[in-house]
Structure 1
Amino acid sequence: MPKCHVPECENRTSFVTSPDEVIPDWAEWALAEDSACHRWLPTDGQCVADAFRNGSRELCDTFVYQPGSSIVAEFDLACQEWKRSLVGTIHNVGMLISLPILGFISDKWGRRAALVMSGCGAGAVGLAKSFVGSFPAYLLAELLETACGASVYPAAFVLMIEWLGVEHRILASLVLGIPLAMGAATLSLLDYLTGYWRTWARFAYPPSFLLLLYPWLLPESVRWLTTQGRLQEAVDVIKRAAKCNRVSIPQDGLEKVLLNDAEQANNRVNEIIGDESLFRALIKYSALRRRLCVCFVWWSSAVFVFYGLAVQAHALAGSAHANYALVAAAELPALVANTLLLDRVGRRPLLTAALLLTAAALSLQPCLPQGVQWAGTALYLTGKAGATMALNALYVYTAELFPTRARHRLLAACSTAGRLGAVLAPLAAVLDTEFEKNNYKRIQRQDYSNKAFNYKDFVNATQCL
């Protein structure tokens, strides 16, 4: 945590401190106990108790940081909550840019092309981000990174479900979700080992360039090749898969089956959108609009909660690295539960139950008494698991609502609507801070049995608001 610099009591040439530096005695009368952003007003420039007016406070103009721990220290962002929240907002704005563009690329040039471009683009920009020297440059790099890389998961998900049969789509979400959660936990461990965000970035992003091997290792979606009329390529891909699985398929029969599938797929799509553009079809057909509108509401709500919880993981008690790894690990039981229940209870019942579970857990958390941190953490992780179940179910359900020809674009449109919720999620911390400040000022003006009302009384009084 950064500490307010008090020039009357310390003569520093560097505003960097060691993690184990002892809190000085003068902090008791020089620093405001209820706010890390304020100090008591000095009167005569001396470092004694009588030289500070404890009834009046002023904002700190300089801070002392631990060395290189985060961008907060690097770019002097202490007590500037809006700037720290702006990083998350810019990150999610990049997703808004990425999803429609990469969705178009995926439907136009292939799932594999979108996956490689997204992953390698994010790796290149992320590596460049580790060399930026200012906060505006960092924000620009954050925007470009997500504009390139936000479509890695949707592209991989669409590619996988189009390779697998309908009965294996739930398994696909589990197969993709477990490495995703494990990767997030590994990033926390990497940050702990490196100890400096620039070093972390230089280790975390280069593995993205392994995706350049995918054109030689990963086959294109047969369904996409079929809808594009590239039947010979689809036949070659299936023959390689059959050889790998030691299955013999006649050449003539395979081409005939693919041709029939292509005609049936085109007929199904033409029933909905015909030869019209997708935009004109949305205007003309109410069924398509209704599905999209419902998906927009689902996605914006689920993504807002999911990313809002991720942003606030640092607020849990204990080590920040352990908390982040724990929040990532909370996704694993949610993914397993989805795999077991989605086909048994259905998409909509499970989605509804997951959203209600999240709402109940997060509504109960602020009403807990003080001193039961384990219960607050348990409710937090329950809410995270419920949000993960909802978002995972949305990927499966949304992909099943739309035809192959426009699947990635429409999935990207729904995910883009969800990113509007993600854009607002980091700003919730700013609203929470302002809410506390306004309530503290309001309660201070009221008379509570003629006794002084301190910050601890305020926390108790507003605990369940």
Structure 2
Amino acid sequence: MSPNSVSLDSILIEIGGFGKFQRVVVLLILIAASTINIPALVWVFETKEVNYRCELPGCESNPPQYKSSWWSDAIPSVDNTPSKCEKYKRLVNNNQITSCEFDRNVTEHCDAYVYETDEISIVQDFNLHCEENLWKLTLVGTINSVGVFVGLPISGVLSDRIGRKLILVASVTLSGLCGLIRSFSNSYIFFILMQFIDSVFRAATYPTCFILDQILYGMCLIVLSWYWLLPESIRWLLAEKKYTDAANLLKRIAKTNGTTISEEKLSELWNSSITPNSAGRKHSFKEIFNSSIITKRFINCSICWTICMFCYYGMTFISVNLSSNSYLDFILTILVEIPSSVAAYLLIDRIGRRYSLALGFFVCGVSCLSFICIPEDLYWLKLSMYLLGKFGISINVTGLYTLTSEMFPTPLRSSLLSICSTFGRLGVMTAPQLPLLKLYWEPFPLTLFVSTAFIAGVLSLLFPETMNTTLPDTIKEAEKIGKKGRTESESTLCNSEEVPKRITVVNEVVKY
């Protein structure tokens, strides 16, 4: 780049930095930010295994009670709790079956059940009782992740080719329609099918919205009315050589922020955006494999994504089984993400991205190990350690999105973020199966969190530090990230006093 050339970052500062325009766009996204995880996590309660026992016709009160005074005479006990699917066989006297007398030496399966509470899940709706049907409950979460796994790479490529905004609006609209249809499911197969289709469409909302505005959530149906309010990514417009659209957007930003931008500046920006190596051609995903540096980062990033998503979603999923108050435990594991967002804001711009990642993984591993070792009667101490582990891994969700979007070049950024996130879905796909592992050993899931978190903590130290660096527009620029020999001209715009510090999950929209 010549000394007289103009960069997009310098123009963004000139037209107001993070001004009124950016704040309005961020507000639009934040209004719906809390809704996208509802369809993503509601299956945790839809498939929640409730307590129940066999129904004994002729012996039950009206209405039947889960723990009646006589249950131990009629039903085997498991940890002082009625067995879910077995009952003692009724005694036979003179070829007549007695009403409420049982042979405690012989058990048999039952076909009707009495529930502890009035909670409704697909266990009752589709008759998914007993251990032989437990895999059908865990399959719902896995199917949800498989759908996202399929949808992420498709949405990433389409986002790079036709724009972030169109993909975002289409995905959330179709996802909302699928969710509505799924609520009327009358069979397990149809329920699973709609869960898959819904998650395929929903897959685009997370990474596309983050690329558009560096936010970790998406939008629901309300975004349809915002299509003409949300801007397209300026960097994507420049990468696609759509200079007229980029110019109109920059002028719109300048006008909203109360500043101006000259035609000369725009002309210099167009000229600096066209290089001999980039003019007239598009970058191919295969090009990253021509660079050993980018390839190694991509592989390491995919591994860390897999482990992070496995621990993050796994700790969220099994929180409903920590105690009898599943709703309180689940709410606490979600609320802990509020202080973790503050911590992410404080850490990633102070100690750096990779050290923040390492710290988050190690905190998660140590906390889960402590949870295993603490006695069961110290419930609040165990819960505190569990929440601390969720706190650590939640920091890394923000950190990974930030690091991944900063160390890859603009033309491939959305594709690589989506692909890394796709590998993360491998971890999410296995997380719903954790209840099956508990059948063999109760601490098995937490042990996996400990071991994988420590591995990822070490691997995260191998990443280059992207704090105080500009977003790379080419593969060569991306290779230079983390090298000590970078020139001052390549230093970040983040050091400028004119640009406010980023707020955890919200950054300047126009950077993407």
Work out which of the residue numbers 82, 90, 93 in structure 1 matches 2:143: 90
The secondary structure found in structure 2 opposite 1:101 is helix
1:118 corresponds to: 171
Question: Which residue identity lines up with residue 248 of structure 1 in the other structure?
Answer: T
SS in structure 1 opposite 2:139?
helix
* Corresponding residue number in structure 2 for 1:36: 84
Does residue 239 of the first structure (1) align with residue 251 of the second (2)? yes
**Cα distance between partner residues in 1 of 2:375 and 2:443:** 21
Deviations 1:167-194 (A, max 9, x none): xxxxxxxxx35xx5xx9xxxxxxxxxxx
What aligned pairs does 1:173-184 form with structure 2 within 5 A after superposition?
Answer: 176-177=215-216
Amino acid at match of 2:229: L
Superposition deviation, residue 239 in structure 1: 0.9
Show the 5 A alignment for 1:308-457: 308-435=314-441
Q: Distance in 1 between matches of 2:437 and 2:323?
A: 21
1:307 to 313, 320, 323: 313
Q: Give the TM-score normalised by structure 1.
A: 0.77
Following superposition, the deviation at residue 56 of structure 1 comes to 4.4
C-alpha separation between the residues in 2 aligned to 1:33 and 1:11? Answer: 18
The equivalent residue for 1:294 is 300
Q: In structure 2, do the counterparts of structure 1 residues 72 and 324 end up closer, same or farther at CA, with 3 Å as the change threshold?
A: same
RMSD of aligned Cα (Å): 2.6
Shift of 1:256: 2.3
Aligned counterpart in structure 2 of residue 153 of structure 1, from 206, 212, 215? 206
Tell me the residue number matched to 1:46.
98
State which of 218, 226, 232 in structure 2 corresponds to 1:214. 226
Whether the aligned pair in 1 keeps the contact of 2:54 and 2:86 (CA below 8 Å) is no
Matched, 1:135 2:141: no
Instruction: Quickly say closer, same or farther: Cα 1:37–1:282, change in 2 above 3 A.
Output: farther
Cα separation, partners in 2 of 1:300 and 1:76, compared to 1, 3 Å: same
How far residue 109 of structure 1 moved from its aligned partner, in angstroms, is 0.5
C-alpha contact (below 8 Å) 1:103/1:412 kept by paired residues: yes
Which residue of the partner structure matches residue 455 of structure 1? none
1:68 to partner: Cα distance: 6.5
Measure how far apart 1:25 and its partner are: 2.2
Q: Using a 3 Å threshold, how does the CA distance of structure 1 residues 259 and 32 change in structure 2: closer, same or farther?
A: farther
Aligned to 1:25: 69
CA–CA separation in structure 2 for the residues paired with 1:377 and 1:318: 13
Name the structure 2 match of 1:200. Answer: none
Q: Which has the higher contact order (CA 8 A, sep 6+)?
A: 2
Contact 2:148 2:199 in 1 (8 A): yes
Between the two proteins, what is the percent identity of the paired residues? 31
* Counterpart code for 1:431: L
Alignment CA distance shift 1:83-1:219 (3 Å): same
2: CA distance, partners of 1:347 / 1:285: 22
Distance in 2 between the 1:131 and 1:314 partners? 25
Q: How far off is 1:291 after superposition?
A: 1.1
C-alpha displacement of 1:58: 3.7
2:154 to 101, 117, 127: 101
Distance 2:267 2:336 in 1: 45
Name 2:110's counterpart in structure 1: 60
Specify every segment of 5 or more residues in structure 2 that has no aligned partner in the other structure, as ranges.
1-49, 445-512
Q: Please tell me whether the aligned partners of residues 319 and 333 of structure 2 are also in contact (alpha carbons under 8 angstroms).
A: yes
How many Å apart are 1:130 and its aligned residue? 0.7
Does structure 1 conserve the Cα–Cα contact (< 8 Å) formed by 2:372 and 2:443?
A: no
Is residue 144 from structure 1 mapped to residue 197 from structure 2 by the alignment?
yes
Secondary structure of the corresponding residue to residue 216 of structure 1: coil
Kindly indicate whether the alpha-carbon contact (under 8 Å) linking 1:351 and 1:393 is maintained by their aligned counterparts in 2.
yes
Going by fraction, where is helix more abundant, 1 or 2? 1
Q: Deviations over 1:306-328 (max 9, x none)?
A: 11111112112253332222211
For 2:53, the equivalent position in structure 1 comes to 4
Q: 1-side partners of 2:127 and 2:404: how far apart? A: 42
**SS where residue 220 of structure 2 aligns?**
helix
Q: Is the 8 A contact 1:118 1:149 kept in 2?
A: yes
Distance 1:137 1:94 in 2: 15
CA distance in 1, matches of 2:213, 2:267: 22
What's the offset of the Cα at 1:435? 3.5
Partner of 1:172: none
How far apart are the structure 2 equivalents of 1:39 and 1:364? 38
Could you tell me which residue of structure 1 aligns to residue 7 of structure 2?
none
Secondary structure in 1 matching 2:232: coil
Identify the match of residue 69 of structure 1 among 114, 120, 123: 120
- SS in structure 2 at match of 1:344: coil
The residue type paired with residue 90 of structure 2 is: P
CA distance in 1, matches of 2:343, 2:324: 28
User: Per the alignment, in what secondary structure is the counterpart of residue 247 of structure 1?
Assistant: coil
Do residues 278 (structure 1) and 285 (structure 2) align?
A: yes
Name the residue aligned to 1:263: 274
Q: Residues 127 and 68 of structure 1: is their aligned pair in 2 closer, same or farther, counting only changes over 3 Å?
A: farther
Instruction: Tell me how far 1:22 sits from its aligned partner.
Output: 6.0
Deviation at 1:3, TM superposition (A): 2.0
Aligned-partner Cα distance in 2 for 1:46–1:437: 43
> TM-score scaled to structure 2, two decimals?
0.70
State the alpha-carbon separation in 2 of the partners of residues 5 and 363 from structure 1.
Answer: 37
- CA-CA distance at 1:23 after TM superposition: 2.7
SS at 2:227's partner residue?
helix
- Deviation of 1:8 (Å): 4.9
User: Corresponding residue for 2:39?
Assistant: none
Runs of 4+ in 1 over 6 A off after TM superposition: none
The letter for the 2-side match of 1:411 is L
**Secondary structure of the structure 2 residue equivalent to 1:382:** helix
Q: Secondary structure at the match of 1:36?
A: coil
